[in-house]
Structure 1
Amino acid sequence: MDQNQSLPTAITDLNEDSLAHCATFLNLHDIFNLATTCKYLRQAAYSESIWQRLFRERWQQLLPPLDSSVASGGARDAYLARLSALQQFKFEDPLVVDMLTEPEPYNLMLLDRDDVFVSRGSSIRMMKIPKIFGRSHSLTTLNDHNARITCMRLFPLTETSLFRSEGKKSGNFLVTSSSDHSIRLWWKGSCQKCFRGHSGPVSTLSDKLLGDGSSKVLASGGEDGTVRLWSLGSSGKRGKSALKATLHGHEKPIKLMSVAGHKTSLLVSIARDSKVRVWDVTASSTIRSSCCVGLTSLPGAPINIKCHESLLYAATSSSVVAVDLRTMQKVLTAAAYQPFLYSFEMIPSKSLICTGGRGSARLWDVRRNQDALKPEPIAELDGHRGAVNFLHMDPYKIVTGCPDNVDVNVWEADSGAHANSLSCWFTESADSSTTLSSMAVNGCRVVTACYAEDLGLLRCRDYTNASRPIVRHDEVVSKFWDSQCYDDNNNDTSDV
């Protein structure tokens, strides 16, 4: 090579200050990606100026901490500490919105940013959460179903071309199944499509859409023992041409379905007899009535299933087992709970699972139990009365609740440490007739529904703008909390 010929310039040739200046034009997700590339770029991504800017953008009324007032992590540590505290509901002053309802249970509940969807019998109520305290909430009732709603799912509009004619795609659309043999797709408070094909009640829907690109497929399972595939791109409101395939094989009603993590064309279904089938729904195989590529049977009644990569985690009766979808062989027992399990959730990215039993929930680390003859939990989440039927789990927190208790408990996801207790009724105490009927959590928000003999209450808590952290006498208050008043103006934390 000619010695006079200059070498190409690489990004690492820039000094740290220049890289930090360039990174100020990136969003939070891009900054995290930058930090994972190499040690030099990670040092630039952790620059104080970047996290000072992110701190100001998210919490505009709060000045970011100075280098001298915080630990070596500076504004970055302060940013992440405050974000974790908000996500874990460690504050005393959330925005609380109460709505009085009939003294009847809400069966299913979903929380989607500013919208709450609850089902009762054959109807759906959609409530818009006010952004400013004191403003009245809006309530819409959807009554198109003729029988009990059995399942509700939210899917991103960006994953389908279904509503392309309605303008810019954003947010999610709602899908519901019902005992009236139908599936309905909702958007902006009205039914957009109705799918019919099952010969009995539709019992469940897939937790994700199948396939890649814009031609994704929705799967449904029915009391008739069939799995049916629906094209979301079909024309016509009644969806007559939407049925893509009917898959036979199960002898009992379908209880649960989940899309495989390592291949989006694989659908896992489990029936009430705990027989598991794996279906390949690629374009070449959906023209056949049978495309089962794997089957197995599990002991006990199915409680819940989750797919992660090539593994199926199935909770049945008193244990959670992992099954390799490539071989259909059991690879480990991830959790065991006597005498009976009532709920199961997991955080695949952290190898953590949580199970709800009677009187307590338990936190398990899958990695610790890989070679153990008897799995052991890493934390006991106790203090409940009755069965822990309500369970939410995300990278920050676990939220647990019982029908017999009007309080829900919040725990740190990593350690199981108790973070907060939230009353779901008008007062902290309630008589024996008061029942918690449903719960939903999304980011910094939690919604609960309770009812008694003569009254019901739908309560929403929003910690996005919380400013007063919980002060406990048995622990040291964070240095980021005792000297400042916080304010949060950003609702979206999905990129953290």
Structure 2
Amino acid sequence: MSKQRRGKSRLLPPPATSITDLNVDTLAQCASSISLQDLSNFAVTCKYLRKMAYSDTIWQRLFRERWPQKTLPSAISVTSGFREAYLSRRMDGLQFKFSDPFALHMNTNSNPFDQVLLNEKDLIFSQGSMIRMIRTDGWLSGTPVTLRLRGHSKRITCMRLFPRNETSFYLGEAYEEEKVLVTSSGDSSIRLWRKGFCWLEFRGHSSQVTTLSDKLLGNGSGKVLASGGEDGTVRLWSLSSSRKHGKHSLGTFFGHKNPIQLMSVSMDNPSHLVTISRDSKVMVWDAEAALLASSSFAGGTTSVLGYPIGIKCHEHLAYVAAGSSVVAIDLRTMQKVVIAAADAILYSFQAMPSKSLFCVGSNGRAMLYDTRRNSGTLNSEPIAVDGGHGGPVTYLHMDPYKIVTGSPVDEHFNVLDANTGAPTNSLTCGIENGTNNSTRCCALAVNGSRIVTGSVNDVAEVGCLLFRDFANASCPVFFF
């Protein structure tokens, strides 16, 4: 080799070393302290890191940390290791398949629970114009912190939680997971709450505010809130902390002649808002175009048959339950297709369009449908029916793991597998004072492995909220 070539070889950098040069055992040891989310990110990076992420060493540690009192599986096969045991146990908790959840009761007055929300940290409920917020972490430790949110003078009509980083109150990553509460009332006002205080108040509707958008409209930092009122108008509001109390709406949409019943933001275009009035008229609004033009701008109009009770937007479709049927509306053309027709009036509706599943509640039963089987037919058949209720199924929750159903004339909620409709549990409402014949369910909120149910007893003139957490339960329920 010439002197010139030997000189160049000395200048070459040493071979690069990557994380995949480490063996699986070493990687598993390095990853022993990372979070479950980071572990999931490793698993989708490449096949080599996925092998590490599926290591029994890691999942045995996660299992022991999550359920220290639970005995590890006695037999672990090559195809069914600690990861499968962990995921199976977590799935059972999310489907409420236990008889010994952690439970706490909170007695209240006998007024109906108008709204109930349950998020990662807070239980929020309203009775009339009163709003209470309970920090669940303090509740679990025996030192509950209860906040009374005062300001509204009439019954609360709607409550929404929005991520703080979607509003101007976002101050940094430390607050990214916090949420702000927005409420509407029969007093025609809308209020935004932080730390137990009203930070913003919006007024503009001439009568009670009936509903709020399920998401904020728009992209980036310019997102806005939409509200619908008894006056038939749709109004847009900025959630900016720089705006003073009583600030006028950014825009007002006219087109409905009846009170607004439901509204939802399109997933395909976050500036499109779908609204339904009580006369079953459906309208699509382009909020961005309307604000730029400083006038109402309707992107499309159609109608459905029967009283509207639920809406769910997914991609360019809006699924609307009204009367005794569920209709899919193409928001680009406003064409309609009946995807389910029941033989009774519907009282509730929940959907998981990404899995082609939706559930409806009618008189005495809840029905699970698969849209792939029922498109365009009036003789649609549910894939499962829960007929265990004595009255209208008005309480309905659906997530990727479970369905929870309830009726105001019953004393229990039923839990079903979200994919098959098979029953997994049955839960009492909450009041256990020997007068159950007069107990009725009146509230439902679910978040992951946790559930809050509300009940009132008219004879005893008492109400109750029952909080259950199935995350660390250990006694399986045998439900047939």
1:91-110 aligned within 5 A: 91-110=98-117
1:141 aligns with 148
Equivalences for residues 18-37 of structure 1 within 5 A:
20=28, 24=32, 26-36=34-44
Deviation digits for residues 220-275 of structure 1 (CA, Å, limit 9, x no counterpart): 0111111111111152451515x211111111111111010111111111111111
Amino acid paired to 2:318 = L
**1:434 CA drift (Å):** 2.3
**Cα distance in 1, alignment partners of residues 71 and 276 from structure 2:** 52
Alignment counterpart, residue 222 of structure 1, candidates 199, 219, 229: 229
Specify every segment of 5 or more residues in structure 1 that has no aligned partner in the other structure, as ranges.
Answer: 475-496
Q: Are residue 127 (structure 1) and residue 134 (structure 2) matched?
A: yes
CA distance in 1 between partners of 2:229 and 2:151 (Å): 19
Give how far 1:70 is off. Answer: 4.8
The AA in structure 1 aligned to 2:118 is L
Counterparts of residues 262-277 of structure 1 (less than 5 Å) = 262-277=268-283
Q: As a proportion of its length, which structure holds more helix?
A: 2
Amino acid corresponding to residue 419 of structure 1 in structure 2: T
- Greater displacement, 226-235 / 24-33: 24-33
* Residue 248 of structure 1 pairs with residue 254 of structure 2: yes
Alignment partners' CA distance in 1, 2:38 and 2:341: 40
1:459-492 deviation per Cα after TM superposition (whole angstroms, max 9, x unaligned)? 11122232222245x6xxxxxxxxxxxxxxxxxx
Tell me the alpha carbon deviations over residues 383-442 of structure 1, each in whole angstroms, 9 at most, x when there is no partner.
Answer: 111010000111111111100011111111111111111111333975553221111111
- Mean Cα deviation higher: 422-431 or 69-78: 422-431
Aligned-partner Cα distance in 1 for 2:438–2:326: 33
Report if the CA contact (8 A) 1:219-1:230 is conserved.
Answer: yes
Partners in 2 of 1:13 and 1:268 — Cα distance? 53
Match of 1:359, SS state, is coil
2:471 counterpart (445, 464, 467):
464
Give SS of 1:300's match: coil
Structure 2 CA distance for partners of 1:285 and 1:428, relative to 1, 3 Å? same
User: Which has the greater radius of gyration?
Assistant: 2
Aligned residue number for residue 374 of structure 1: 379
Answer with 87-96 or 231-240: which moved more. Answer: 231-240
Structure 1 position 286, deviation (Å): 4.3
How many residue pairs get aligned? The number is 467
Of 350-359 and 14-23, deviating more is 14-23
Q: Which SS does the other structure have where 1:32 is aligned? A: helix
- Which deviates more, 287-296 or 31-40? 31-40
Distance apart, 1:80 and its partner CA: 0.8
Distance in 1 between residues matched to 2:374 and 2:51, nearest whole Å: 35
Contact 2:165 2:176 in 1 (8 A): yes
In structure 1, what is the Cα distance between the partners aligned to 2:291 and 2:269?
15
Q: TM-score, normalised by structure 1?
A: 0.86
1:278 paired residue among 284, 305, 326? 284
Larger relative CO (CA 8 A, sep 6+): 1 or 2? 1
Partner in structure 1 of residue 60 of structure 2:
52
Worse overlay, 230-239 or 181-190: 230-239
Q: Which residue of 2 aligns with 1:421?
A: 426
CA 1:294/1:35 → structure 2, altered by over 3 Å: closer, same or farther?
farther
Moved more, 122-131 or 405-414: 122-131
Q: Does 1:355 pair with 2:363?
A: no
Alignment correspondent of 1:174: 181
Cα pair 1:222 1:253 within 8 Å, conserved: yes
1:230 match: secondary structure:
strand
Cα deviation, residue 19, structure 1: 5.8
Deviation at 1:71, TM superposition (A): 6.4
After superposition, residues 132-211 of structure 1 pair within 5 angstroms as: 135=142, 137-162=144-169, 164=171, 168-211=175-218
Q: Which moved more, 1:313-322 or 1:462-471?
A: 462-471
- 2:90–2:471 contact (8 Å) kept in structure 1: no
* 1:183, distance to aligned residue in structure 2 (A): 0.2
The aligned residue for residue 298 of structure 1 is: 304
| Residue range with higher mean Cα deviation, 426-435 or 220-229 | 426-435
**CA distance in structure 2 between the aligned counterparts of 1:451 and 1:433, rounded to whole angstroms:** 8
TM-score by length of 2: 0.89
Q: Which residue of structure 2 aligns with residue 408 of structure 1? A: 413
Q: Equivalents in 1 of 2:161, 2:126: separation in Å?
A: 14
Distance 1:89 1:192 in 2: 37
Q: Give, as a single letter, the amino acid of the residue that structure 1 aligns with 2:96.
A: F
- SS of the residue 1:77 aligns to: helix
Over residues 83-106 of structure 1, what are the superposed CA-to-partner deviations in whole Å (9 max), with x where a residue is unaligned? Answer: 011111111211211122212211
Of 312, 321, 327, which aligns to 1:315?
A: 321
Match of 2:87 among 70, 80, 83: 80
Match of 1:367, SS?
Answer: helix
Structure 2 partner of 1:479: none
Q: Shift in Å at residue 139 of structure 1?
A: 2.9
Q: In 2, are the aligned partners of 1:245 and 1:287 still within 8 Å (CA)?
A: no
> What one-letter code is carried by the residue in structure 1 that aligns with 2:449?
C
Amino acid at match of 1:406: E
Determine the C-alpha separation between the residues in 2 that align with 1:132 and 1:250.
44
RMSD: 2.8
Name the aligned partner's letter for residue 389 of structure 1. T
Given that residues 98 and 460 in structure 1 are in contact (C-alpha distance below 8 angstroms), is that contact kept between their aligned partners in structure 2? yes
Where structure 2 has 5 or more consecutive residues not aligned to the other structure, the ranges are 1-8
Which amino acid counterpart does residue 255 of structure 1 have in structure 2?
Q
Alpha-carbon contact 1:333-1:375 (below 8 Å) kept: no
For 2:462 and 2:45, the matched residues in 1 are separated by 56
Distance change in 2, residues 1:321/1:18 (3 Å): farther
Structure 1: which amino acid aligns with 2:240?
Answer: G
Q: Tell me, yes or no, if the aligned pair for 1:192 and 1:237 is still in contact at 8 Å.
A: no
Q: 1:336 aligns with which of 322, 333, 341?
A: 341
Cα 1:137–1:41 change in 2 (3 A) is closer
Q: Which residue of 2 is the match for residue 90 of structure 1?
A: 97
Cα distance change of structure 1 residues 133 and 10 upon mapping to structure 2, 3 Å threshold: closer
Question: What letter is aligned with 2:262?
Answer: L
Cα separation, 2, equivalents of 1:369 and 1:328? 20
Q: Is the 8 A contact 1:245 1:286 kept in 2?
A: no
- Between the aligned partners of 1:9 and 1:181, the Cα distance in structure 2 is 64
Alpha-carbon distance between aligned partners in 2 of 1:354 and 1:45, rounded to the nearest angstrom: 36
Partners of 2:376 and 2:155 in 1: how far apart? 44
Would the aligned equivalents of 2:431 and 2:455 in 1 still touch at CA under 8 Å? Answer: no
How far apart in 1 are the matches of 2:240 and 2:363? 44
Identity percentage over the alignment? 52
Which residue is 1:478 aligned to?
A: none
Distance 1:218 1:50 in 2: 43
CA–CA separation in structure 1 for the residues paired with 2:320 and 2:167: 29
Q: Distance in 1 between matches of 2:23 and 2:377?
A: 49
* Residue 349 to residue 79, structure 1, CA distance change in 2 (3 Å): farther
Aligned to 1:488: none
